Chains A and B, each alone.
Chain A
Amino acid sequence: MKYNPTYALILFFIISGVLYVLFRPAKGWFWIIKNNFKSNEKIVTEDILKQLYHFENSGNKVDTKTLLQVLDFNNNQIIEVVKKMTINDLIYFESDVLKLTNAGRDYALRIVRIHRLWERYLADKTGFSKEEWHDRAEMMEHKLNHDETNTLAAHLGNPKFDPHGDPIPTKTGKVAEVHGVELPLLPVNSIGRITHIEDEPEIIYKQILAENIHMGSLIRVVENNATRIVFLSEGEEFRLAPIVAANLTVAPIEKEIIIEDNIARLSSLKEDETAIITGISKESRGESRRRLLDLGFVKGATIKIDLINPLGEPNAYLIKGTSIALRKDQAAKILIKKD
């Protein structure tokens, strides 16, 4: 064929098109086919164990039919695997109901441990958003072996709770207790700290996340009735329907703690205003929180805007004699009291 630039261009676009269809992120055919091969027996086994463990904890009974509903694997494969698991003594049937053997429970605990550790890791050490933690941990829980898990735990300082406040089983399978009561049970004016945010069902969890409610925040209940629950936290007022609020566990605090009412966020500071820092939101975790503290964003420090950015953000703030630039999302995590 003789060279012709138009043909060359057309050929180029055809090839790029094909490559795009095959390899585009997530939806490329190549990845889809690859993923289909991946749902192997180990993953199915471990997912079954985990489901049974959760059902057992919430006191529900499971038969094969429920299992088929909650897991999205090929039904035949699940039945196949369940058979194998009974042979391997991981589970047994009590009439119709599936039960975990001791070995099965240990195995399940190990999976739960990895899952929650990994969520902790994602929360503290990476920048993945909260919405992504769960799905990534789902993938990871099948990958880490025993030693890797323990190294990870040590690296994270052997945490007791995952970022939702769920206890992380220890190496030996011990599970700590979550303190606190469901939010709707707290009377008006009581003060408490959020110790757990239930991440299922997902719709409610997403709603809580969207509200910007964080683990570890102090709250004060200002209204509590059958239609809504209103509370203050980190300078904002939240209104939740009781069913949503029931997914929050709060540990009441007896001590006298004053929760300031007129707290704002650094991102709302205007030029020429000064403010005092009252703390950093619990939303800021891990390394980035430490860095903010190291840079002098500590309780009691005076702060004001030094420079406005030509593109809107980051702005530079004058703190302890130095101008430090912070992006908006980070400034939104610093709590201040304006003068």
Chain B
Amino acid sequence: MDTKVKSACETCAHFNADGLKKMGIHTDNVDFVVALAGNPNTGKSTVFNSLTGLRQHTGNWPGKTVTRAEGGFEYNKQKYKLVDLPGTYSLLSTSEDEAAARDFILFGKPDVTVIVADANRLERNLNLVLQILEITDKAVLCLNLMDEAKRNHIIIDERTLARDLGIPVVATSARFSQGIPELIHTISEIANGNIICKPHRIKNVPSNIENAVKTLTAEIEKEFPNIPNSRWIAFRLLEGDTEIIKALKSGELV
């Protein structure tokens, strides 16, 4: 089996294999919090397991993980807490089952958000990716299930993708632990501010909505000068999201 082939980075100069320690469930005194978000059944829990050494249940059906799980790893003497979230199709809905993930991405303020996407279904996965990029600018796209993509003859130009999205892209096959070292390295680079992301902002918005969003964004920024994701909040206010209204009032979002 070719699963044991060393991926390029493990031997390359950047990744410091000795600096990695899986910490299992021990997550005290962490330096950074990392969230694992993504569509259902894209391999988030598998990525989580290979980073933390835990055995979070995985299963080949959407909705296997329903509660969030935490674990830790140490890389180059810095401790990271990793949070595995239930899969979501979108952050725009108000449905109960997606609340856990939505709330953590927005209110948990992770230092880095790893967005796990299925390389075979990139277009539908980008729906969520683009939404997350409206909220946070510290994100990395983990293009998972690359082995299947290869079998399906799907070729993805990662560099162009990274440029278009404005965030680093790491191709992985989490099940075979391929690409995980690069992922860890990229996470640490973002966490330490060595990679600065310039995330894509949703462009194809009809002009009447864009104008409304602009007006509202300006008003929000007047009241909260330091808010990082005013455009997203404007989107949510236009939708009438009561959670966001509450959070704005209490100042939880700033």
Direct A–B contact present (CB less than 8 angstroms): yes
The interface bits of chain A over 275-291 (1 if a CB of B lies within 8 angstroms of the residue's CB, else 0) are 00000000000010011
Nearest CB of chain A from residue B81's CB, rounded to whole Å: 29
> Whole-angstrom distance from the CB of A192 to the nearest CB of chain B?
19
B241 CB → nearest A CB, Å: 8
User: Across the interface, which residues of B come within 8 angstroms of A296, CB to CB?
Assistant: 123-124, 127
Q: B89 touching A155 by the CB < 8 A rule?
A: no
The answer, among B123, B239, B242, for a CB contact under 8 Å with A321, is B123
Q: Is B113 an interface residue (CB 8 A)?
A: no
Known: A154-B245, A157-B239, A157-B240. A321 touches B121 (CB 8 A): yes
Contact A287 B94 (CB under 8 A): yes
CB distance from B170 to the nearest CB of A (A): 21
Within 8 A of A (CB), among B200-254: 239-242, 245
- Please tell me if B92 contacts chain A, counting CB pairs below 8 Å: yes
A295 to B62, CA, bound (A): 13
Residues of B within 8 A of A294 (CB): 89-90, 92-93, 127
Cβ of B240 and Cβ of A158 under 8 Å apart?
A: yes
Q: Determine the distance from Cα of A323 to Cα of B123 in the docked complex, in whole angstroms.
A: 14
The digit string for B165-198, where 1 denotes a CB below 8 A from any CB of A, is 0000000000000000000000000000000000
Residues on the A chain within 8 Å of B124, using CB: 295-296, 320-322
Cα–Cα, bound, A31→B209 (Å): 51
Task: List the B residue with the shortest CB-CB distance to A159.
Answer: B240
Q: Tally A-B pairs: CB < 8 A.
A: 39
Nearest B residue to A289, CB-CB: B93
- Asked if B89 contacts A287 (CB within 8 A), the reply is no
Q: Is residue A43 contacting chain B, with contact meaning CB distance below 8 A?
A: no
Judged by a CB distance under 8 angstroms, whether B3 is at the interface is no
* CB proximity to B under 8 Å, residues A232-272: none
Q: Would you call B95 an interface residue if the criterion is a C-beta within 8 Å of the partner chain's C-beta atoms?
A: yes
CA distance A238 to B47 in the complex (A): 54
Is B144 on the interface with A (CB-CB < 8 A)?
Answer: no
- Distance between B179 CB and nearest chain A CB, rounded to angstroms: 21
- By the criterion CB–CB under 8 Å, are A321 and B120 in contact? yes
- Measured CB to CB, the closest approach of chain A to B155, in angstroms, equals 15
A-chain residues with CB within 8 Å of residue B95 when the two chains form the complex: 287, 290-291
Q: Taking the complex as formed, is A156 at the interface, i.e. its CB lies under 8 A from any CB of chain B?
A: yes
| Cβ distance A100 to chain B, nearest Cβ, rounded Å | 32
Closest to A298 in B: B127
CB distance from B119 to the nearest CB of A (A): 11
> Chain B: interface residue count, which band?
10 to 19
A158 to B240, CA, bound (A): 8
Contact between chains at B93 and A322 (CB < 8 Å): no
Within 8 A of B (CB), among A116-163: 154-158
Contacts of B121 in A (CB 8 A): 320-322
Q: Which residue of B lies closest to A322 (CB)?
A: B121
Contact of A287 among B93, B241, B245 (CB under 8 A): B93
Contact of A320 among B90, B92, B123, B241 (CB under 8 A): B123
- The answer to whether A154 and B127 touch (CB under 8 A), given A294-B89, A321-B121, is no
User: Taking CB as reference atom, which chain A residue is nearest B121?
Assistant: A321
CA distance A321 to B241 in the complex (A): 31
When chains A and B are docked, how far (Å) is the Cα of A297 from the Cα of B241? 23
CA separation between A102 and B94, bound complex, in Å? 39
Chain A residues with CB under 8 A of B241: 157
Smallest CB separation, A221 vs chain B (Å) = 26
Nearest Cβ on chain A to B86's Cβ, whole angstroms = 15
**B245 to chain A: which residues have CB within 8 Å?**
154
Residues from chain A with Cβ under 8 Å of B120 in the complex: 321
Least CB distance from A133 to B in Å reads: 20
- CB contacts (< 8 Å) of B123 on chain A: these are 296, 320-321
Contact B92 A290 (CB under 8 A): yes
Nearest Cβ on chain B to A316's Cβ, whole angstroms: 13
Identify 26 residue pairs between A and B in the complex whose beta-carbon atoms are under 8 Å apart, listed by A's number: A156-B240, A157-B239, A157-B241, A157-B242, A287-B93, A287-B94, A290-B90, A290-B92, A290-B94, A290-B95, A291-B89, A291-B93, A291-B95, A294-B89, A294-B92, A294-B93, A294-B127, A295-B89, A296-B123, A320-B121, A320-B123, A320-B124, A321-B121, A321-B124, A322-B121, A322-B124
Q: Which A residues lie at the B interface, using CB under 8 A?
A: 154-158, 287, 290-291, 294-296, 320-322
Given A290-B94, A296-B124, A321-B123, 15 extra CB contacts under 8 A:
A155-B242, A156-B240, A157-B239, A287-B93, A287-B94, A287-B95, A290-B93, A294-B90, A294-B92, A294-B93, A295-B89, A295-B124, A296-B123, A296-B127, A321-B124
